[in-house]
Structure 1
Amino acid sequence: MPPEDLTAAAPAPETAATLISGLSAYGRLYGLPNSSEQVQGILGTLLRLYQPDLPAALVDTVAQQVLDGLTPDDLKNAIVDRASSALAKAAHRWQQQLSDQAKGVLTSYVQRYRPTVTPDDLSSMATSVIPLVSDGAITRSEALGLVSLVVQTFDLESALRGVIPAELAARVNATAPALAQTLATVLNQKPMAEAVSETVAAYVEKYAPGLVNIGSDLIATALSAVLKNQVDFDLDLQLAVIDQTLLIEQVSFQLNVLRQSPPPSKPAWAIAEQVNTAVEQYRQTQSSGVDITAGLVSNDGLSISSPLTSTRRLSDRPPQIPPRSNS
């Protein structure tokens, strides 16, 4: 059966009832969190599992609509059957797996590099971890819910003491060290990623206000422009040696999944003009009778996405890693 049309002001009754039943089953099996972000994340996962072909934006919209109209009586009176219980178990299993992976990476990162970490840093760190463990298969509501869950349940004090909780030991020993090194790279080049995000946001606002999906090549073009003008952003010149693919992934996650566009700074507005010039050159350039912008620009002329630059690294030198603290 094809997915229901969920573009209306409210989800179809069958969809809403399924989500509420699944959430009620989840609460009876595992308990419901107090965080609205986590509850919406659970609803998002329930809907994604129920209708896997539904666009991510609609998953987020419907999850928000159901959450906004939810009452205690809805959960109390919901019919919980075998199907809704199975849906709840699958949602919990997926959520638990990703949150454990994220906390395993954070634990390994803290223990290996021992940076100065405060509880206030955890939200940013957890946000950076999510795209590393989710392989991009995640919606905004699920990502924000997982960030909230990881921040709430991560035992920073134990991690700083070198204590690994038993439930995380397997994940820390298996894959976490490699991902911890990747996270170190992500956090090290975060100022550059923020400058690129600002530049893309400025470009979209000024030159492509109808753009829906930010393609990797648009991000790569903004990155190239920022690297040529990084003094304007007061960036460390050593950041010229970066992992371009990883940075693009993080910026794409922020702009496309979280849909968080940072307010552009003055340098970002100026460099956005260079990005626009580069985009126009892509659109106009032809080589050997073949339009090399094919695949760069979608049929509506807005979404830029192709492998022309998105997988090219700026340097083969290894990424910089924050030094181990002596504390």
Structure 2
Amino acid sequence: MRSPANRAIAQYEAIDAGALGADDSTLFWRDPRWHDLECLAARFVRHVYAPHVHDTYALGVILAGAEHYRYRGVEHVAGAGDLVILDPHELHDGRPAEGGYRYRMMYPAPSLMAEIAGEIADGPARAPHFPEAKLTDPEVGHAVARLHALLGQAPEKLQADGAFLETMALLIGRHGRDAPVDRPAGREDKAVARVCEAIEDTLDEDWSMEALATLVGFSRYRLIRCFRRALGVTPHAYRTSRRVIRAKRSLAAGATPAIAALEAGFYDQAHLTRVFKSVVGVTPATFRRGCLT
């Protein structure tokens, strides 16, 4: 029988609730769309992880303070901005430095990482190996932190899919050993045009990246890359721009912000107002008044 330290456990099992102090806090959730991806946002001043292993990767960013941890027999200290990446089935622990630390962590399954590596290579690929337990790479670190925060906000499928695939591809391509070769993307204008047409015709549809990619026989990652090359934006950003344009037309024709929101595929008027102001610079109501006076 394996000892508790060598038994693969879910992340929530690694947190000893009885050891949490008054200054410790945790937020844990799973995202079923990414192989039941476990996500943890935490602040630890007192909590200490006992040695344990996962059957997933452990990937995250230290937001503030510093964490001490032992991994592959070596002591590490990860400070603010550092990226932590641990391979599956590797024994590790964790404890706060003086003053504690805050971090965002996610635990992707090897099958998920192999799936993304295969999309990068446009063919079968193995799950990558990460030889360094701590990385200083601001671009990847910021991308991981932004992705984690986004996943905690229950975003639209297309936005979450694009952010997840691009972030993981950046991490794997830059730091994974046996990382797949990222083939140059062609323009594939016909496929991009087909996806644009589908988005335009169904602005209220909560498309997933997989569904759009299936329309043109691409992998999700290939679609994102071709879209960026052809139009300079992701499918999610393109759809947002088309929704705003549709809303502007409705408002200029006299529709109320609530009606314009529905016609343009936004959830509600508040959703339209938030996005519209960030793009146009004024609220839908102000834009409507300016068009009708």
**Taking structure 2 as the reference length, what is the TM-score of the superposition?**
0.32
**Taking structure 1 as the reference length, what is the TM-score of the superposition?**
0.29
More helix by share: 1
More strand by share: 2
